[in-house]
Structure 1
Amino acid sequence: MTLALNTPLTLRGLTLRNRLIMAPMQQYKGTPEAIAGDHHVEHYSQRAKHVGLVILESTAISANGRLWENDIGIYTDQHVESLKRITDAIHEHHTPVFIQLSHGGRKSAPEVTTRLIAPSAIAYDEHYGTPEALSLAGIEHIIEEYRLAARRSLNAGFDGIEIHAAHGFLIHQFLSPLSNTRLDAYGGTSLNRVRFLREVLLAIRTEVGTDYPVIIRISATDYYEGGLTPVDWIQMLKPLESELDAIHVSTGGNIPVQPSDIYDAYQLPHAAAIKQHFNIPIIAVGKIYTRSLANRILEDHLADAIAIGRPLLDDPDYAEHLLISGQGRNVPPAKFSNN
């Protein structure tokens, strides 16, 4: 079968009308209480018309895990109503929407974080400061916060969940030996370092059941010797494959190191390497801005879907240009982003 952007894609029973995904991109418009507003409703509604799937911006599962002081959250029942307004607006375009659940760990916003935590007491940089190493009770508490966030995601009308395990945030911190030097059951070997992710995933599954799509966003490489590589991710995620419905492959963010060059589809080799070992869809992201490039990636089975972010921020109709007229518009080079 020849694949193209307009080919439908099924994620655990949910069929997307095409393989173009709106990637999660922060809006920095949340209230001090992390509540979404009119901006979010209008922003996502305008961009949901043609894509196959919208993935909402990173949404905090804990008051102490917000990535920015003006992001949005889902850590209380009071957050549900505003998020339901967003999902309703997106559904008016017959487009499904996933929520990206996150906890910043040692990269939680200093402005709104009262207790900085991480798997180990290793600072990301001076801006964030040195975190407190989580106790076993603290780990259990955060897993419970993920479970409750999954329940609220259902109540808010989301069609699926993306677990944010990329860009140096808490789950990524547990997975990488650069940020996890624990000596207990959550550190050391890759089997131990993936334990936190596995328990978060299973907690989410207890709320959403077996028929609900759950995907994961990862950083395939830490861009540093001794850090994570696609081989590590394959070893850690393969035992979890039956619980996951897609892998969204990004890179970097766990240490203050950027890729040496950012070019068209610069993250694709990592996605392609991972795809060879999985039967679930692989989502490629990173400067894939024309239909010819996207279709070539799909035709060559290097990935199963394409996510775009910045072009949709600049132009709400970018997906229409890509899917219907054939080419997107020119997009200025972007700096490496941890969104």
Structure 2
Amino acid sequence: MITTETLSLEAPLIIGRIELRNRLVMAPMQQYKGTPEGLATEHHILHYGSRAHGLGLMIAESTAVSDNGRLWPNDIGIYSDRHTEQLKRVTDAIHNAQTPVFVQLSHGGRKSAPEVTQRLVAPSAIPYNASYGTPAELSLSEIEALVEDYRLAAKRSVAAGFDGIEVHAAHGFLIHQFLSPLSNRRSDTYGGTPEARTRFLRDVLIAIRSETGSSYPVMIRVSSTDYANGGLTPRDLARMIQPLEAEGLIDAVDISSGGLLPIQPANVHPGYQLPDAAIFKQHLQVPVIAVGSIHNRSFADRIIRDGLADAVAVGRPLLEDPDYGLKMLEGSV
């Protein structure tokens, strides 16, 4: 019998209908290796396949739902049926290691790559900075079209063999822009109150669920704080997410921070985002994933045992060493 006192990184964890064999997650990290058309390449097949062994879950890098919403010019996408076949080769390589993989669906909004963005859009005409320029405020019909982009991306995600979806609602990209009062100044049904600012995310999740069904795992990645006065705080955002959980729209939450403004956290240290993850744990019942320089087994075990988070995600060390996940599970790091 597993109790709170005996929980560790090796304990299984259920997200939606999937039981993870352990609580070590590979965080989504961009590869900057997509083709000009947003297709995955042989690099992605080798990169993900070589890192999948032993992990409880992999979350693939940000994958654009629209050719007008790519985060970087060499992003990969899932905005046409052409992308599905190559992404299926990526998921097959990961499944060879008996590891489940989620796709991270994204749209950059006002932070879409200028080099490949024909029309920069956002909830409100507020720029991120001068380099990106001032976005156009989305009309209601454009919002409906974006929700449809997410629905079609979810359909392709299932066809490509992904075991679940992570909706990217963090790091200052489109959904985060809707959530934060600093970037959303709308006065219609998509802005003005916390509930209204959550509406776009809710619409996206409902659209995704219309394709995947209720048992298919769907999670969200959020930025717990904007690091600015008047912006989102962990408690604010956790309360905004509670109704989504109550409706059965999300199966887990992945906690990051920042990105809405060109502001960096003042003190980046091991587990610097952990207090925010702990606040989400206090407000939500679904699993909470912590990330942020949590790079050794003893620290990860302590986080899970103390109930600060349900799983731990690792990013950069796995970029540098394909076997880092195995080493962390073995306790050699």
Q: How far has the Cα of 1:169 moved from its partner?
A: 0.2
User: Is residue 265 from structure 1 mapped to residue 294 from structure 2 by the alignment?
Assistant: no
* Contact residue 59 and residue 101 of structure 2 kept, 8 A: yes
Secondary structure of 2:259's aligned partner: coil
- TM value normalised by structure 2: 0.98
- TM value normalised by structure 1: 0.96
Q: How far has the Cα of 1:13 moved from its partner?
A: 1.8
Query: CA separation in 2, counterparts of 1:317 and 1:31?
Result: 27
Aligned 1:176-191 pairs, distance under 5 A: 176-191=180-195
Secondary structure of 1:276's aligned partner: helix
Q: Which of 202, 208, 214 is equivalent to 1:204?
A: 208
Deviates more, 1:35-44 or 1:10-19: 10-19
Q: Residue 93 of structure 2 corresponds to which residue in structure 1?
A: 89
Unaligned runs of 5+ in 1: 329-339
User: Is residue 152 from structure 1 mapped to residue 149 from structure 2 by the alignment?
Assistant: no
Q: Residue 301 of structure 2 corresponds to which residue in structure 1?
A: 295
Q: How far has the Cα of 1:69 moved from its partner?
A: 0.1
User: Is residue 280 from structure 1 mapped to residue 292 from structure 2 by the alignment?
Assistant: no
Q: Residue 175 of structure 2 corresponds to which residue in structure 1?
A: 171
Q: What whole-Å deviation, never above 9, does each CA across 1:237-296 have from its counterpart, x for those lacking one? A: 000012111000000000000000100000000000110111110000000001000000
Q: Residue 45 of structure 1 corresponds to which residue in structure 2?
A: 49
Q: What whole-Å deviation, never above 9, does each CA across 1:27-50 have from its counterpart, x for those lacking one? A: 000000000000000000000001
Secondary structure of 2:283's aligned partner: coil
Q: Residue 312 of structure 1 corresponds to which residue in structure 2?
A: 318
The runs of 4+ residues in structure 1 deviating greater than 4 Å are none
Query: CA separation in 2, counterparts of 1:261 and 1:64?
Result: 34
* Contact residue 120 and residue 136 of structure 2 kept, 8 A: yes
**2:309 partner letter:** A
Q: Which of 216, 226, 231 is equivalent to 2:230?
A: 226
* Contact residue 292 and residue 327 of structure 1 kept, 8 A: no
Cα RMSD after superposing both structures: 0.5
* Contact residue 220 and residue 254 of structure 2 kept, 8 A: yes
Q: How far has the Cα of 1:6 moved from its partner?
A: 0.5
Unaligned runs of 5+ in 2: none
Query: CA separation in 1, counterparts of 2:63 and 2:274?
Result: 26
Percent of aligned positions with the same letter in both sequences?
64
Query: CA separation in 2, counterparts of 1:207 and 1:12?
Result: 15
User: Is residue 34 from structure 1 mapped to residue 23 from structure 2 by the alignment?
Assistant: no
Q: How far has the Cα of 1:327 moved from its partner?
A: 3.5
Secondary structure of 1:303's aligned partner: coil
* Contact residue 16 and residue 53 of structure 1 kept, 8 A: yes
Q: Residue 199 of structure 2 corresponds to which residue in structure 1?
A: 195
Query: CA separation in 2, counterparts of 1:230 and 1:253?
Result: 14
